[in-house]
């Protein structure tokens, strides 16, 4: 079985590991981004975490094919650097691919995190068999990737564009992008935490599962806004399936029931039965699995 290194760089954490060609994550580690305010410390932290993993696979005579890197934000046309993300300023315009290749002496390939996540679902997860797949990941921000007839949609920043910044409430929360009421601002970690009286997402989800009414309402309201946003996006991409992933998706059916209800309420009639809304199967590691797919099973 072939192996690849995988790095998933998000606004709050970096996920690092070794992934097999069937999508199995063999080793994994999470590095917080909170203390990494400049590009070189980010690279140092990545190298320190992945080097022992690479050494271990080499000792077992199972070398990796390369290292796939999922990064939040738009990429330049050569996919060598991230050029825009309001939530990840440390890496803007930084030659990330070159820096990693120099330090690790391995080929690296960069991909937009939303593309990597939807690729993971398409290859190994809840998006298998879909002809028109929309995948959204909800965490520090909200990103989305689209695969149509086996091809990733790339028309802005090497991806489907910044779909988290459609405006769903003109009087809504202020977004990190500077606008107000963006879908991202209404459903991200910060929004859920505010609805849950300042608690962490994990605390809110745990309490909701235990029947705490305030927590269940916080999750449900977040799902309502997400369903509205997905309904607004559906006429653009005509998906037959929508996969919801990211940290907030850990709420499972508590979230998805609300998402589906809101989606059916707001979407054009033709999509109500034609489009399935499902949850990710990766528990938040979809970006890393998709990053590895850049070497193990790339789209043509």
- CATH classification of the domain holding 43: 3.30.420.40
pLDDT at res. 298 = 87
| Sheet strand arrangement including 151-152 | 151-152, 142-148, 132-138, 241-245, 276-279
Same domain, residue pair 24 and 162: no
Question: Is residue 201 within 8 Å of 250, Cβ to Cβ?
Answer: yes
The answer to whether residue 95 sits within a structural domain is yes
pLDDT in tens, the chain (300 residues): 899 999 999 888 999 999 999 999 999 999 988 766 789 999 999 999 999 999 999 999 999 999 999 999 999 999 999 998 877 888 999 999 999 999 999 999 999 999 999 999 999 999 999 999 999 999 989 999 999 999 999 999 999 999 999 999 999 999 999 999 999 999 999 999 999 999 999 999 999 999 999 999 999 999 999 999 999 999 999 999 999 999 899 999 999 999 999 999 999 999 999 999 999 989 889 999 999 999 999 885
If asked whether residues 78 and 152 sit together in one domain, one would say no
Beta strands in 194-291 (DSSP E): 241-245, 276-279
Is position 124 within any domain?
Answer: no
Question: What is the C-alpha radius of gyration for the chain, rounded to an integer number of angstroms?
Answer: 18
3-state secondary structure of 294: helix
**CA–CA dist 223, 181 (Å, integer):** 15
Judge contact between 144 and 103, C-beta under 8 A: no
**Any residues with CB less than 8 A from the CB of 240 and at least 6 apart, and which?**
130, 131, 132, 133, 274, 275, 276
DSSP structure string for 223-274? HHHHHHHHHHHHHHH--SEEEEESGGGGGTHHHHHHHHHHHHHHS-HHHHTT
Specify the pLDDT at position 256. Answer: 98
Q: How far apart are CA 108 and CA 143, in angstroms?
A: 22
Domain residue limits at 159: 129-279
Q: Could you give the 3-state DSSP secondary structure of residue 85?
A: coil
The CA-based diameter of the chain, rounded to the nearest angstrom, is 58
Looking at residue 35, what is its pLDDT?
66
- The span from the CA of 43 to the CA of 278, in Å, is 35
Q: How far is CA 208 from the centre of its chain?
A: 23
> Cα(4)–Cα(19) distance, rounded to whole angstroms?
6
Predicted local confidence at residue 228, as pLDDT: 98
- Kindly give the pairing relationship between strand 151-152 and strand 142-148: antiparallel
Q: Would 252 be classed as within a structural domain?
A: yes
Tell me the C-alpha distance between 132 and 188, whole Å.
Answer: 25
In a domain, 122, yes or no: no
Query: Residues 6 or more apart from 235 whose CB is under 8 A from it?
Result: 268, 271
pTM above 0.85?
yes
Task: Indicate if 93 and 195 belong to the same structural domain.
Answer: no
Domain shared by 134 and 272, yes or no: yes
């Amino acid at each position: 079985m072939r192996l690849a290194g995988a790095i998933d760089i998000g606004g709050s954490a970096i996920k690092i590991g070794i992934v097999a060609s069937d999508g199995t994550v063999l080793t994994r580690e999470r590095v917080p981004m909170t203390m990494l305010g400049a590009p070189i410390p980010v690279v140092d932290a990545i190298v320190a975490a992945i080097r022992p993993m690479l050494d271990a696979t080499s000792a077992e005579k199972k070398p990796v094919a390369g290292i796939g890197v999922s990064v939040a934000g738009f990429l330049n046309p050569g996919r060598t650097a991230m050029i825009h993300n309001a939530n990840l300023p440390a890496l803007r315009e930084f030659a990330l691919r070159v820096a990693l290749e120099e330090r690790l002496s391995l080929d690296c390939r960069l991909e937009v995190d939303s593309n990597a996540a939807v690729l993971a679902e398409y290859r190994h997860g809840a998006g298998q068999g879909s002809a028109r797949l929309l995948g959204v990941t909800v965490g520090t921000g909200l990103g989305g990737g689209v695969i149509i007839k086996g091809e990733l949609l790339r028309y802005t920043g090497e991806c489907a564009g910044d779909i988290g910044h459609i405006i769903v409430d003109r009087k809504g929360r202020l977004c990190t992008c500077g606008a107000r009421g963006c879908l991202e601002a209404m459903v991200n970690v910060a929004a859920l935490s505010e609805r849950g009286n300042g608690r962490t997402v994990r605390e809110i989800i745990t309490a909701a599962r235990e029947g705490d009414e305030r927590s269940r309402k916080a999750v449900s309201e977040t799902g309502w806004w997400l369903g509205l946003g997905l309904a607004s996006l559906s006429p653009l991409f005509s998906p037959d399936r929508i996969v919801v992933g990211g940290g907030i998706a850990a709420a499972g059916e508590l979230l998805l029931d609300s998402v589906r209800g809101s989606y059916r309420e707001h979407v054009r009639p033709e999509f109500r039965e034609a489009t399935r809304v499902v949850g990710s199967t990766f528990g938040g590691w979809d970006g890393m699995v998709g990053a590895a797919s850049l070497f193990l099973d790339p789209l043509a």
